[in-house]
């Protein structure tokens, strides 16, 4: 048995074995495992990317869990590198400071604190403590003056933190809950660390967005769970916490910001979204089979569009090399025969090759020198900003292609 991957037989929330596989994207390399040229000839590890629906609690999840040491080895996602994300966190820090912190001695702990952007906005409003497993990224936060522990958050770490620092008035976790396999242990840790009147605020991708317009390409090995509020509510019920408020927020498509407490009044927002999810069919197995059919259809549409363009000898370049782009390229089998290269502003990606499909990632200047006929918008979540920035390209006769619906913009 390969030790780099474990297979969950039970649902991560309710432990049921009644799970159904509805979408199989095949064996794929890790979405962030970009390759240096010398690695192109070596065997590339690939892992199943299969998505399951739990018929008992409705959690959508991966059951093939890659060892976190391998999964996060190439973790290079920096919050500070994304302007929209920085603004998002500045706004969130204001909300937390205004609504949840009473005094500068209150403790705020962030799980997966990355390079410290969110906690940076809270310094002075409370005592801040980051928990970040990646040493290099934790150092970036320390350089900003954010006290940071280099560790994964677990219930035993929560006990140590509560002893050494105090109970937390606020615990934050953004885009990290979906990365955690042993969710119960994390919830146990929250109960240990959170003050009795404290609040746990976290953000996760919303499965309603994923199966709507959000795009299947958000599915990759790092994202173990695709949450609905209903599934999270079940987890809270089982593990002794309460969801008291929820907001839909326009980040990564649409995400949920969830507010959990040990006790407290539950706002109407919770009931409303629980009901809305029922109406959207998020609790029904058939919804996910329909979604899988939609994914197959969008593959056919884009592949036939691109093949048609190649037959006309058109040149096509990818725009942006996000992790999700690698799910799409691998599942659609779009390689260097179709895309001449991919341009990306992230310096460390430039000069590398995409995992699985081996397309070179280059600095954006190449399209200025030689504009291609088409740009495939792999970073489609930034479509508006990119199109605004690259007006010159459209004006010079170039065209963008949205990869999910194969529409030429």
Per CB under 6 A, does 362 bind ligand TMP? no
Per CB under 6 A, does 321 bind ligand TMP? yes
Among the residue ranges 42-50, 103-111, 143-151, 314-322, the one whose residues contact ligand TMP (CB under 6 A):
314-322
- Binds ligand TMP by CB under 6 A, chosen from 102, 105, 286, 345: 345
Choice between 56 and 82, CB closer to ligand TMP: 82
Per CB under 6 A, does 23 bind ligand TMP? no
Angle at CA of residue 381, ends 229 and 310, nearest 5°: 130
Least distance (Å) between residue 371 CB and ligand TMP: 16
Per CB under 6 A, does 386 bind ligand TMP? yes
- Binds ligand TMP by CB under 6 A, chosen from 127, 326, 330, 381: 381
Per CB under 6 A, does 97 bind ligand TMP? no
Kindly report the backbone phi and psi dihedral angles of residue 359, in degrees, each rounded to the nearest multiple of 5, phi listed first: -95, 130
- Binds ligand TMP by CB under 6 A, chosen from 204, 282, 379, 401: 379
Least distance (Å) between residue 57 CB and ligand TMP: 28
* Nearest CA-CA partner of 14 in 242, 233, 277: 233
Per CB under 6 A, does 363 bind ligand TMP? no
Per CB under 6 A, does 172 bind ligand TMP? no
Per CB under 6 A, does 318 bind ligand TMP? no
Per CB under 6 A, does 403 bind ligand TMP? no
Least distance (Å) between residue 117 CB and ligand TMP: 14
b/e code 291-311 from CB counts within 10 Å (16+ = b): bbeebeebbeebeebbeebee
Choice between 345 and 405, CB closer to ligand TMP: 345
Binders of ligand TMP: how many residues, by CB under 6 A? 14
Return residues touching ligand TMP (CB under 6 A).
Answer: 82, 320-323, 344-346, 379, 381-382, 385-386, 389
């Amino acid at each position: 048995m390969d030790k780099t991957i474990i297979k969950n037989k039970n649902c991560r929330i309710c432990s049921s074995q009644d799970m159904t596989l509805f979408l199989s994207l095949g064996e794929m390399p890790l979405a962030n495992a970009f390759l240096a040229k010398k690695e192109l000839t070596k065997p590339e590890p690939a892992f199943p990317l299969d998505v399951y629906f739990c018929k008992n609690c409705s959690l959508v999840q991966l059951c093939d869990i890659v060892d976190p040491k391998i999964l996060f080895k190439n973790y290079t996602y920096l919050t500070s590198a994304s302007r929209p994300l920085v603004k998002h966190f500045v706004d969130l820090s204001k909300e937390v400071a205004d609504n949840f912190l009473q005094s500068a001695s209150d403790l705020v702990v962030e799980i997966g604190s990355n390079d410290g952007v969110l906690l940076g906005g809270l310094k002075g409003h409370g005592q801040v403590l980051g928990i970040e497993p990646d040493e290099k990224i934790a150092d970036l936060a320390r350089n900003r003056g954010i006290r940071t522990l280099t560790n994964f958050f677990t219930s035993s770490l929560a006990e140590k933190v509560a002893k050494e620092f105090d109970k937390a008035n606020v615990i934050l976790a953004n885009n990290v809950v979906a990365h955690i396999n042993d969710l119960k242990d994390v919830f146990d840790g929250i109960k240990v660390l959170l003050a009795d009147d404290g609040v746990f605020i976290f953000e996760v991708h919303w499965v309603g967005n994923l199966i709507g317009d959000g795009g299947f390409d958000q599915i990759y090995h790092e994202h173990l769970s695709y949450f609905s509020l209903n599934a999270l509510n079940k987890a809270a019920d089982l593990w002794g916490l309460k969801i008291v408020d929820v907001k839909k927020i326009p980040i990564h498509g649409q995400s949920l910001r969830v507010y959990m407490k040990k006790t407290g009044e539950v706002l109407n927002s919770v009931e409303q979204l629980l009901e809305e999810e029922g109406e959207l069919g998020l609790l029904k197995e058939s919804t996910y089979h329909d979604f899988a059919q939609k994914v197959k259809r969008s593959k056919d549409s884009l592949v036939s569009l691109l093949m048609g363009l190649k037959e006309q000898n058109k040149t096509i370049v990818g725009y942006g090399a996000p992790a999700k782009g690698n799910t799409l390229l691998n599942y659609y089998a779009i390689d260097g025969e179709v895309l001449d290269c991919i341009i990306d502003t992230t310096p460390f990606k430039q000069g590398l090759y995409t995992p699985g499909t081996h397309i070179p990632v280059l600095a954006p200047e190449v399209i200025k020198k030689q504009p291609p006929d088409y740009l495939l918008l792999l970073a489609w979540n930034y479509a508006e900003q990119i199109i605004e920035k690259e007006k010159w390209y459209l004006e010079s006769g170039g065209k963008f292609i949205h990869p999910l619906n194969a529409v030429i913009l």
